[in-house]
A and B are shown apart, each in its own frame.
Chain A
Amino acid sequence: MVIKMRKRRIALLLIPALIISGLAVFFVRYAENRQAWAMSVYNRGIYSSGQLITGNIYDRNGIMLSKVEDGVRRFASDETIRRATAHATGDINGNIGTGALKAFTSELVGYNIITGINNGRSDLYLTIDSELNRTAYEALGGYSGTVAVVNYKTGEILCMVSTPSCDPVSSETAEGDGVYLNRFLSASYTPGSVFKIITLIAALEEIPDIMEREFACNGSVEIDGEAVNCHSVHGTLKIEDAFAQSCNCAFAEIAIELGDDTIIEYAESLGLTSSVDIDGIQTASGSFDTAENDRYTAWLGIGQYRDLVNPASMLRLVSAIANGGAAPEFRLISGQGTALLSFIDAMEHRGDRSERLVSSATSEQMTAMMDYNVYSNYGDGNFPGLELCAKSGTAEVGGDKAPHSWFVGFITNEEYPLAFVVVSENGGSGAGTAGRIANTVLQSAIAGGE
């Protein structure tokens, strides 16, 4: 026999009902925000005076980049290594927003719902090779700019240097223009002739007889009453030579035939206007403006006008060309200290996460032409043993400043599936300055067995 509770008291059940609703509100907030709460800078379990006091960072070979000892954060003992890896690792004050210390806080703490911030151990292994970073840092030789090398099969970023850099251990604010900015991830530059890669891809897919065409260059072409200059008098040339010689007259003609909308559409579909997600870090995205006349359209297709390109997105595009058309998912984290965390990470990144940017037919044509660039223009002798495919860019930046020097490309040798981007600001000739830096870094990468 069921005994009923007193009728009037049923109203009192409103009290526990309200309490349960309040708890539900809390648990919904907990489910949504628990990670952000745990990662708060006010969490004394992981922060002390604004410094992250948990989590060690190593490079892909287990070389220590930053480590906590007795509650104090330390960095690599070699200053050049520190400066060369500062943008990957981050600095003690947290000024470098895209450094691991800021961007991978959660991984460094090893936060998970079961043990919270207490997992006993929190080691983070980056994909970069600190020695290769050192080579790149030294090869930049005082130029501002960036060097990055990626394995285009796996997406692992092996080298990522941005200059000017700072000593991450120093608590003083570093002097210099944008020292805390990782130019690979967060800058966008006028691309100059490296943008001809995009214009050429568009031409290969939109102009059926492009391979048969002949272009005429007498050093300049008049469009809308003003001259679009070429850097040389190329005479009559076919598309592969127009690309290899980076002939502005030929590309002006192609750009106008394609139209500004088509070129921008290709820039978008090739990933240049969107942000790349690298283990949660959002890169800067490039931007392009529609042109109001043919002359501007010509400059748009040549990579000048108002074109802006982020080095990471450019590297992603050449990686896709190297990889048969599919851009690999870029990674900066190679592993985490505990089996549980590595398992969670593996589950999050399982399956093929590459994204097709160009058809395999187009990527084959592009590979052949970028190979021809090195053979016919940049000189195989300047890149001994590399089996290099590349495109240079010499981006005019206005005023009386020297142009930015770009060099992008990849190695076709299956044993060294490396793609790279080099930008040296005001470095002059692309194939010259940036090309030399690329050669030094790639030679070192191969010698190091990457």
Chain B
Amino acid sequence: MKAVSEKAKTEEKKLYPEVVGIILSAIGVALLWTDWSNMIKQTMCALIGLAGFGILAPMMQARRIKPAIRVLAALLGVALIAANVVLGESEYGAQNWLTIAGWTFQPSELVKVCVVLLATGLTDKRSKFRFILFTAFSAVAVLAMAFINDFGSALVFFLAYLAAAVDNKRYYMAGLAAVSAGGAGALAVKLRPHIAARFLSCGKAWENVATTGYQQTRTMIAIASGGLVGAGLGNGWLRGVAAADTDMVFGIVCEELGLIVGVLMIILVLYLGVAVLMRPSSGSGAVAAAVILMAQMALNVLGSVDVVPFTGVTFPFVSRGGTSVLACWGLLAVIDGDKNA
């Protein structure tokens, strides 16, 4: 019987996360075809990401990640967060952009890779050090993102922590984290009422078409305008709205390529995410990465159509932005590589 069980394990359905990455990257690159310089950048980043995926995926198994590498990842992550907090430029609300030598990038995107790296191997019996490091780092990341008003990223990091923490025998820590995050959130709302106001305007986009509902109403108009098949690549007007190709990219896809393609993108991310959660061999890092991808997709899509507050989170692979694309390929590498044999 044992032999049969072993055989079944090796026959576990193989996921091809890179297929999801390639399809979504292709859509993201195609959307930029009216913007050559960014299209080239996006293509380069997608190709580098794909190559990185091929190289890194086999190295992502928890037992291959030495404690020294974990510490290094944590330090790098803290450095990125610090750079973000200190030097970050505010663009449309959240202070999450950084310009170095003319090259703009989003440090918080790369921090996601650090997080999932630290999330690996939490299922092991002897993972006290890993868990403490992961918990401390996650706390820093969530608080820092909240501090720079990037509540979308804060929520993504928080969910990634919960997802990985349930695997550990100290999973009660996840409950503790949830309670303290709730308390911190309540405190933040009390101390900074303008944040609460921003979140309370959710669901009222049509009453505030010129202010807090501007992006969401334009996105909904664009989605409806595209019908099921879309106006054709480059024929939409939503791409002319500031930052639309990152925060409202779902609207651009629906306007130009149609709602069918838009829904397909959602299904791809959800399919991959759920498959990773259901896959018994998935390591805790892979689960965290899957949750990050799903949460980002959901915050991007639902935020832009006024179902949840608009937080300016990117759609994995599709939103314009080299850092974001590279980070997403990093997450895929962990999804593919972080498996318990």
Q: A residues touching B (Cβ–Cβ < 8 Å)?
A: 1, 3-6, 8-9, 11-13, 15-16, 18-20, 22-23, 25-26, 29-30, 33-35, 37-38, 40, 42-46, 112-118
State in angstroms the CA–CA spacing of A20 and B295 once bound together.
11
Of A4, A12, A35, which contacts B224 at CB under 8 A? Answer: A35
Extra inter-chain contacts (20) besides given A19-B270, A19-B297, A22-B302, CB under 8 Å: A3-B9, A6-B167, A8-B166, A12-B287, A13-B274, A15-B273, A15-B294, A30-B223, A38-B225, A40-B221, A43-B225, A45-B225, A114-B228, A116-B225, A116-B226, A116-B227, A116-B229, A117-B227, A118-B225, A118-B227
**A5 and B278 contacting across the interface, CB-CB below 8 Å:** yes
State in angstroms the CA–CA spacing of A330 and B297 once bound together.
49
Query: Known contacts A16-B294, A35-B224: does B166 contact A44 (CB below 8 Å)?
Result: no
Chain B contacts of A18 at CB under 8 A? 298
Instruction: Count chain B CB atoms within 10 A of each CB in A18, A30, A34, A116 and give the residue with the most.
Output: A116
Chain B contacts of A30 at CB under 8 A? 220, 223-224
State in angstroms the CA–CA spacing of A112 and B224 once bound together.
9
Of A6, A40, A43, A115, which contacts B227 at CB under 8 A? Answer: A115
Query: Known contacts A5-B278, A26-B307: does B298 contact A19 (CB below 8 Å)?
Result: yes
Confirm or deny: B211 has a beta carbon within 8 angstroms of a beta carbon on chain A: no
Confirm or deny: B111 has a beta carbon within 8 angstroms of a beta carbon on chain A: no
Segment among B36-44, B58-66, B230-238 that sits at the interface with chain A: B230-238
Q: B residues touching A (Cβ–Cβ < 8 Å)?
A: 4-5, 8-9, 12, 159, 162-163, 166-167, 171, 209, 217-218, 220-221, 223-232, 235-237, 240, 255, 266, 270, 273-274, 277-280, 287, 291, 294-295, 297-298, 301-302, 305, 307-308
- 12 pairs, CB–CB < 8 Å, chain A vs chain B: A12-B287, A13-B277, A15-B273, A18-B298, A26-B305, A33-B224, A37-B225, A40-B217, A116-B226, A116-B231, A118-B225, A118-B230
Top 4 nearest A-B pairs by Cβ distance? Answer: A116-B227, A37-B224, A38-B224, A19-B298
Chain A contacts of B163 at CB under 8 A? 12, 15
Of A16, A38, A114, which contacts B221 at CB under 8 A? Answer: A38
Chain A contacts of B171 at CB under 8 A? 8
Minimum C-beta distance from A110 to chain B (A): 11
Of B9, B237, B294, B301, which contacts A44 at CB under 8 A? Answer: B237
State in angstroms the CA–CA spacing of A12 and B171 once bound together.
13
Q: Is the interface of B mostly helix, strand, loop or mixed?
A: helix
Minimum C-beta distance from A44 to chain B (A): 4
Which of chain A's residues has its CB closest to B226's CB?
A116
State in angstroms the CA–CA spacing of A157 and B263 once bound together.
44
**A112 and B167 contacting across the interface, CB-CB below 8 Å:** no
Which of chain B's residues has its CB closest to A115's CB?
B227
**B229 and A42 contacting across the interface, CB-CB below 8 Å:** no
Chain A contacts of B280 at CB under 8 A? 3-6
**B274 and A34 contacting across the interface, CB-CB below 8 Å:** no
Chain B contacts of A25 at CB under 8 A? 307
**A116 and B230 contacting across the interface, CB-CB below 8 Å:** yes
Chain A contacts of B301 at CB under 8 A? 23, 26
Chain B contacts of A46 at CB under 8 A? 225
Minimum C-beta distance from A21 to chain B (A): 9
State in angstroms the CA–CA spacing of A11 and B301 once bound together.
23
Which of chain A's residues has its CB closest to B270's CB?
A16
Chain B contacts of A8 at CB under 8 A? 166-167, 171
Of A9, A23, A45, which contacts B302 at CB under 8 A? Answer: A23
State in angstroms the CA–CA spacing of A35 and B99 once bound together.
42
Minimum C-beta distance from A341 to chain B (A): 13
**B8 and A1 contacting across the interface, CB-CB below 8 Å:** yes
Chain A contacts of B237 at CB under 8 A? 44-45
**B291 and A118 contacting across the interface, CB-CB below 8 Å:** no
State in angstroms the CA–CA spacing of A107 and B29 once bound together.
35
**A1 and B5 contacting across the interface, CB-CB below 8 Å:** yes
Which of chain A's residues has its CB closest to B4's CB?
A1
State in angstroms the CA–CA spacing of A136 and B224 once bound together.
41
Chain A contacts of B217 at CB under 8 A? 40, 42
**B277 and A9 contacting across the interface, CB-CB below 8 Å:** yes
Minimum C-beta distance from A29 to chain B (A): 8
